[in-house]
Amino acid sequence: MKYPQFTEAHDMFRKTVRQFTEKELLPHVEKWEHDKIFPAKEIFKKAGDLGILGAHYPEDVGGGGGDYWFSVCKAEEYPRCRMGGPPMALLVQSDMATPVINDLGTKEQKEEFLTPAIKGEKIASLGVSEPGAGSDVAGISTVAKKDGDDYLISGSKTYITNGAQADFVTLLTKTDPGAGAHGCTFFLVPTKLKGFEVSKKLIKAGNHSSDTAMLFFDNVRVPKRYRLGEEGMGFMYLMQNFQTERLIACVGSTAGMQLAIEDSIGYGKDRMAFGKPIIKREYWQHKFVDLLCKVEACRALTYQAVAEYNREKYVEKTELSMDTVKLISMCKVFVGDTSNEVFDQCVQFHGGAGYLEEYPISRAWRDARLLRIGGGTTETMRYYIAKLLGL
């Protein structure tokens, strides 16, 4: 289906991402999933050389100068690699750990961190979640204390994508532990600094090939020039940044659902049971019609949210309105719940084969489960939407 949001330039970019995905990612599925890691430095550099990571960033920081619909193209093509790990890692690099640098960073910070990340020369991670603070971001306890012209950072972070291979962490800390949400501050922390340690590499139920780690900071001395934005404003910055993370995850998940249904229908044409292909069973025909209707609803809702996000961030260049935040939060709830249903039904349609690692639907099913947890749990999203509705 052709959507009016996408120009010829978007279509050319989409073709580039598809070729990259099918050439550089898809052939390595089995090895990377088995090894539970992929060579991020190599892959990110290839993506950076093709202009994939920075297509929606300004030209003055090394980007392509495009709008947010370029990022949508990218997120819709990544699922063609039939694994969730590398797409998630790539999206953390381009749409989660770096947007806040573009929004708040000084010229020097952008030159040292953002531009190399866009080029794929430095790997970025976003350090927010902690062992005792997940969706309750204001409850973080990693502390940054002033020490002359520097800050000393101590604490730990967990569930950090790209954490074990990162060159720097876009890190949320507490500079005023008694101020709650108003005491949070962002820093850009190079992982080569003394006192930084990857304390544990985490083994997950899904997204096996992505690098997820627990990070430890022991009096890491960070110069003031690495503070990102104003002290005490980190929580507010994060709430804006979270919208990018949630929105791009919904875009990618919707595309993944479409692929899963297409793959399943293809499987059903060849799989015989009781004398005919199982896709010829009326029950499953009706089931897939229902699922496709829901996927189109996910796409429509997500595209509406992207349109508002793109208008405010790229055209008007303002902060996101509460109406847009509410819309993105609704996407997170609806797409998350729908993805659970779609992937579960596709596994069921495959029967025993759907429970085997060798079938892409098995990976898609377990990888997709993260959407209802990462970037704010579905329960937290519903609570937040209720607040925005004045309930």
CA 251, CA 80: separation in Å to the nearest integer?
Answer: 13
Of the candidates 219, 248, 243, the one whose C-alpha atom is nearest the C-alpha of residue 88 is 248
CA 181, CA 174: separation in Å to the nearest integer?
Answer: 9
Contact predicate 74/10, CB 8 Å: no
Coil vs helix vs strand at 248: helix
CA 376, CA 334: separation in Å to the nearest integer?
Answer: 13
Task: Name the token pair of 11.
Answer: 């279509």
DSSP state of 226: G
CA 336, CA 196: separation in Å to the nearest integer?
Answer: 34
Q: For 378, list phi and psi in degrees, rounded to 5.
A: -60, -35
CA 349, CA 287: separation in Å to the nearest integer?
Answer: 10
CA 77, CA 16: separation in Å to the nearest integer?
Answer: 9
Which residues are the active-site residues? Answer: 245
Q: For 155, list phi and psi in degrees, rounded to 5.
A: 150, -165
Task: Name the token pair of 87.
Answer: 């797409």
Task: Name the token pair of 201.
Answer: 């590499």
CA 253, CA 148: separation in Å to the nearest integer?
Answer: 46
Contact predicate 208/234, CB 8 Å: no
